[in-house]
Amino acid sequence: MTIDAPPTAHLHDRTDRLAPKPILREGGPRLAMAVLAGDSVRPTRAQARAFAKFAHTYDPVADDLVAAMRRDRPRIRTQFEQALEHGIETVDDPAPEVAAFIAALDDVPFWVDYDKLDLAARAIARMPLITLMAFTTAIAFPASYVSPRVNDVLLRGGDLAKRAAGRIVETVSWSMDCTAPGGMERFGAGTKNTARVRVVHAYIRAGIDRVDDWNTDTHGRPVNQLHYCVTMIPIAGVALAVMAAGHWYSRRERDAIVHLYRYVAHTMGVTAELQVTSLDELLRLIWLAVWSEVDPDDSSAALTEAALKAVPRIYGVDGPSAANRIRSWAHYRFHADLARLSLGSGYADAVGVPRLSPMAALYPVWFARNLLRDRLSVLVPGGAGRAARRGHTERMREIAEVKRRLEVRPYERDEAVQSIRERDRELRARSA
C-alpha span between 176 and 190 (Å, rounded): 8
Q: Of 22-26, 127-131, 190-194, where does mean pLDDT reach its minimum?
A: 22-26
For range 281-310, the mean pLDDT: 89
pLDDT at 170: 94
Say if residues 181 and 121 touch (Cβ distance below 8 Å): yes
What was the pLDDT predicted at 364?
93
**How far is Cα 204 from Cα 14, in angstroms, rounded to an integer?**
39
Complete DSSP assignment for 278-343 = SHHHHHHHHHHHHHHH----HHHHHHHHHHHHTHHHHTT--SSSHHHHHHHHHHHHHHHHHHHHHH
Whether this prediction's pTM lies above 0.75 is answered by: yes
DSSP per residue, 159-200? -HHHHHHHHHHHHHHHHHHHHSTTTTSTTSHHHHHHHHHHHH
Say whether 399 sits in a helix, a strand or coil.
Answer: helix
**Percent with pLDDT over 70 in the chain:** 85
Query: Quick check: 343 pLDDT over 80?
Result: yes
> For 36-87, how does the pLDDT look when each residue is reduced to its tens digit (9 = 90+)?
555 677 888 888 889 989 988 999 999 999 999 999 989 999 999 999 999 9
CA 21/CA 11 separation, integer angstroms: 19
